Structures are given as C-alpha cells and as structure tokens.
Structure 1
Amino acid sequence: MSERTFTIEDLKRILLEGAGAEEGVDLDGDILDTEFEELGYESLALLETGGRIEREYGISLDDDVFTDNRTPRTLVTAINTQLEALVAP
C-alpha cells in the first residue's frame, strides 16, 4: 500500500467543493494558522468537509476532530497522522 499525504491544497479544494468560500476570504492566502470560524466555516460546513475527507481518503475521523483542530495546519497534521497509521506495519 502506498503512503498518501493530505496537504493544505487538498483541504482547500475539499472546503471549496463542499462549502464554497465566504465573500472576502482568500483561501489562497496564508490561512494555515487562521481558525476555521474566521475563514467562514462553521459546524455544518466542517461536517461536510469531514465527510468528504473520510470518503476520499478512506479514513474515519473522530467526532471532535474539528473542535480539537481549529486551524488548517493542525487539521492537516491530524489527518496525516491517521493516514500514516493506515500504512504502519
């Protein structure tokens, strides 16, 4: 099984596909440490994002993944940790 990595670009794409972008928010800017709420993504949009990540990457995210990871940087790290666990011997 090959190792798959989740990137900030993957997250941006999934956010845009699932919930779009709020007016005035530039996802192409430096958003790594900006809280999702400040980016205009609230619980429903994040639930949709989580579902899309689960389907695309074949993982199951904990219910509190978005409350524990309030920024794109920490979410990307958490998802990559799960992906690494899938390929670990």
Structure 2
Amino acid sequence: MLAFFFIYMALSTLWAGAMMFDGLAFMDALGVAFSTMSYDGPAFGAFGATCTYAALPDFSKVIVCLSMLFGRLESVTLLSIFIPSFWKKSGW
C-alpha cells in the first residue's frame, strides 16, 4: 500500500511538473494531474467542471494521456513490467 501511495504521488508530481514546464499555472497543472490519475472527475481552476482539456497545449495533452493510462491501468502493474527482475523471477 505504501509503495502504491509513493508511486501515485511521484507520478502525479511528475505529470504536474511536465505540464508546468509547458506553461500551465501551478494549481491548474496539479488539478489536471490528480484528476486524470484518479477517478475524481473534473479538475479545478481553468480546467474545472464547466471546461474541457481542449485548451491545453499539445505536449500537455500527451502528458494527460499518459497520466490517464497510468491511472486507469494501475501504475504499479505497469511499472513492474519495466523492472528486469520481474522477468527473471517469472521465467518468461
């Protein structure tokens, strides 16, 4: 449970940082990152309940897609595929 929490927080911070690098405000990037990683619904600020993510720059849209992918498909499972010891132990 602790590993899932830290991976979730690290990925959300990574997504928010990447979107801030692309020009989004801190609270907007944080809200979009957490709303796309989880099932919380709309973000807050400029991308709140009455807005869409259409106004995001192209790079941020790619980040949002990755965030949704990692959030919906369980980040621990996806990250374990990239660990070499996972493949050595399982006999694949």
TM-score, normalising length from structure 2?
A: 0.39
Relative to total residues, which structure has the larger helix share, 1 or 2? 2
Larger Rg: 2
